[in-house]
Structure 1
Amino acid sequence: MTIAGVTDFFKEIMRDLYTSLYLAIGGSIEEDSFDWSSQAADLVSTGIKILILLAVLGFFYWLFIYLIKQNKARIRLSDRREKIMRSVLRYIWIVASLIAIMSQINFEPTTVKATAKACIWAGIYYVLWTSSGQIIHKVLQHYGLNASIEQLLKNILSVILLVLGLASVMAQFGFDIVSLVAGLGIVGLAVGFAAQSTLANFIAGITILLEQSFQVGDWININDNEGRVVVIALRTTHILTRDNITVIIPNSNMASSEVTNLTSKNFVRFNVRVRIAFEDDISQAREQIIQVLSDTEVVLSRPEPSATVDEVGEYGVFFIVRFWVKPASVARMPKIKEDMQEHIKNAFDAANISTPYPHMRLLMPKDVDYPIPTKPFATTTQAIDPDVSLTKDSK
């Protein structure tokens, strides 16, 4: 390609850009003449008219906001309602400004009309979406249903309102909603086969929310994970452990595993084990244990706590101490048990009740003559266990 050919190529590109710019500002080509001055004048005139319309709309918006602010106390308008009214006025102002701009830049009247209708439908569905949460909350509160069902209904209603809102807006611009829905159904079927695990978790989440075997706020134990349920979503369940760690479990695992709900009733029982020596008084030890339980604030007096002999073992008498607490105390149960065992030990020490350690007692008959070794004992590096006591049988 010669230099002249390259030059002509770039000239042709610049001529096309020049023509496109002229047509973009509303000009028309007649005999390859471009009247830039008249088009610039029309453009400036259109801009001035748009600015005037926007200024008028902005003035009315500011006026209504001012009136609401000045008469808020007189009409007893709450902060929430004031916020809603401000949002509605702001939306009306934005839509009116958009329509005013479109009407001045040579949009087709049908397009402007369709845009106005689409904005009205979008506003209606937005109001329904924002108010649906409060309506659902009041209805469920009236019937005594829990927060898990509330979250499920909010999610489902949000999806329904979103789909209907998009369909209504698109219908104003001539889209065939029936064909679109049919296409989405086919796509949804294909996606369903590709995401079977996600659908399984979704269905399991709905089942959990409907069965209410556990709810948000309950303390549960599942697969060695123990904690408070903080979120039951449509796909996963979130558990907050005592270590402030969030464990996220798929709902399909939650539905197929054994779940222990520790706070489903009004109170729950726990127990600890303590031991005393054989020589100590069982009744006195029981009194000390019951006194410690009565002094522990979280332990309920009804049902009554108990301290019974669970085992007479090799190293002492073992007590099993049973007590009841409210569900709110379950999260602090390890600390409660540790403090309780410490207080019981202190009470035993004050009452001269010993807590034996594992030991071995060797009993040797008195009338048996033991041979005296002729050789000294062999030296060994193994230390003698101080817990082993050697005594002679007095019989």
Structure 2
Amino acid sequence: MARETGSQISAFFQQIVHDLYSSLYLAIGGNLEEETRDWASRGAELASTVIKIFILLAVLGFLYWLFTYIVKHNQKRLKLTEKRIGVVRSVLRYVWIVSCLIAVMSQTSIDPNTVKATAKASIWAGIYYVLWTSSEHVISRILKHYGLNASIEQLLKNIFSVLIIVFGIASVMAQFGFDIVSLVAGLGIVGLAVGFAAQSTIANFISGITILLEQSFQVGDWIALDDKEGRVILISLRTTHILTRDNITVIIPNATVASSEVINITSKNFIRFDIRARIALEADIDAARQVILQVIDGMDSILKRPEPSATIDHISDFGCVFIVRFWVTPSAVARIPGIKEALHEGIKTQLQAADIAIPYPHMRILMPKDVDYPIDTKPFEIVTHQKKE
């Protein structure tokens, strides 16, 4: 029994060694159907292939370094900017990597048709990559010529990017024998199933296109959305990015933007804001108005036309309340809290300097004098002041 078990274990390990032996022979280009296995000739062929690959890679590496050196030291003569230098280096690097891959494949036992397909696919991939990287610049120049706004520019950039990527993948796959028509039909069926599972993403996509076409707001506008307020810095096909006054980027799904009430604060050339200031009931209204208008006139952020105004909004229990209206340009909207704070501070300081009283909430209690009071008490008037916290 022990001898039988030992022979089985021995046969198992012998089978493993035989499989490794055969795999190694196949790896160096041998044929298992040969009666005798010539390791020496196969090893020589493998060494020759490795040397050829090494020489080809060395030559390609030298050519890559040479072209890079020429471009770098002839930048002024070729009138290339730093951006164009980066593009040229990227193209040279891509050509070098693809050439190395083709060189290695050509020296191995890979089917020549596969090598040709890989070369063609690499060329198509490079062409579409150049189109993808340069499409943004080309579209910007075209739209600048026709005077279209940033929202339409963003929409066209997104659409062209998607189209270039789709056609690029299709062209690359076609070089390896894939039937693109059948593949697209299959993707259409799969797309229906994916659409039901990604309804929110599709809703955001459609809402993004609607926002870009309607142009209710554009990139650069200052908008208020629910409890969020900021400058629109990006309208993509899925989300809208808003930069707040605190330099925080808020990313909102387009479906939420499309279904919410959006206030475009900077849609016009100038915007009006207001604050309130209070003076005592007995104070001179005209004198206080002149002081307030002088404070406004000294602030560069506030427009002189349309003219600011300071009128009595209402008379409260503790004084006359001014409503101070002023106008600013869209570029100053981001600084409105600071402008209002400076106005409040300046108005208070100047009113005090002009001896115009600024009241605070108070309460006066008057006790009648003709009432009998207990002994050791006198008729009196109690006046208390209750400061507002």
1:386 to 380, 384, 387: 384
Deviation readout 1:102-125 (Å, 9 max, x if unpaired): 111122221111111111111111
Matched, 1:179 2:221: no
- Residue 31 of structure 1, CA deviation: 4.9
CA distance in 1, matches of 2:220, 2:311: 34
**1:177-326 → structure 2 map (5 Å cutoff):** 177-326=180-329
| Partner in structure 2 of residue 50 of structure 1 | 53
CA distance in 1, matches of 2:83, 2:232: 30
Q: Do the aligned partners of residues 90 and 360 (structure 1) sit closer, same or farther apart at CA in structure 2, a change above 3 Å counting?
A: closer
2:129 to 126, 130, 148: 126
Stretch deviating more after TM superposition (207-216 or 88-97): 88-97
Note if contact 2:363-2:383 (Cα within 8 Å) is conserved in structure 1.
no
- Residue 153 of structure 1, CA deviation: 2.2
Kindly provide the amino acid, as one letter, of the partner of residue 109 in structure 2: N
CA distance in 2, matches of 1:305, 1:282: 16
- Residue 385 of structure 1, CA deviation: 7.2
CA distance in 2, matches of 1:369, 1:342: 44
| Partner in structure 2 of residue 393 of structure 1 | none
| Partner in structure 2 of residue 104 of structure 1 | 107
CA distance in 2, matches of 1:34, 1:208: 72
CA distance in 2, matches of 1:168, 1:87: 21
TM-score, reference length from structure 2:
0.91
Note if contact 2:121-2:173 (Cα within 8 Å) is conserved in structure 1.
yes
2:28 to 1, 11, 25: 25
1:151 to 150, 154, 177: 154
Deviation readout 1:282-335 (Å, 9 max, x if unpaired): 111111011000011111101110111111222211111100111121112112
Note if contact 2:364-2:383 (Cα within 8 Å) is conserved in structure 1.
no
Give the number of equivalent residue pairs: 379
Matched, 1:137 2:137: no
CA distance in 2, matches of 1:62, 1:30: 46
Q: Do the aligned partners of residues 358 and 79 (structure 1) sit closer, same or farther apart at CA in structure 2, a change above 3 Å counting?
A: closer
Stretch deviating more after TM superposition (31-40 or 112-121): 31-40
| Partner in structure 2 of residue 2 of structure 1 | 5
Matched, 1:61 2:64: yes
Gaps of 5+ in 2: none
CA distance in 2, matches of 1:369, 1:156: 87
RMSD: 2.1
Note if contact 2:293-2:309 (Cα within 8 Å) is conserved in structure 1.
yes
CA distance in 1, matches of 2:214, 2:376: 78
Deviation readout 1:122-152 (Å, 9 max, x if unpaired): 1111111111111111112222233333333
CA distance in 2, matches of 1:374, 1:89: 107
TM-score, reference length from structure 1:
0.90
Q: Do the aligned partners of residues 22 and 277 (structure 1) sit closer, same or farther apart at CA in structure 2, a change above 3 Å counting?
A: same
CA distance in 2, matches of 1:6, 1:22: 25
| Partner in structure 1 of residue 83 of structure 2 | 80
Note if contact 2:207-2:255 (Cα within 8 Å) is conserved in structure 1.
yes
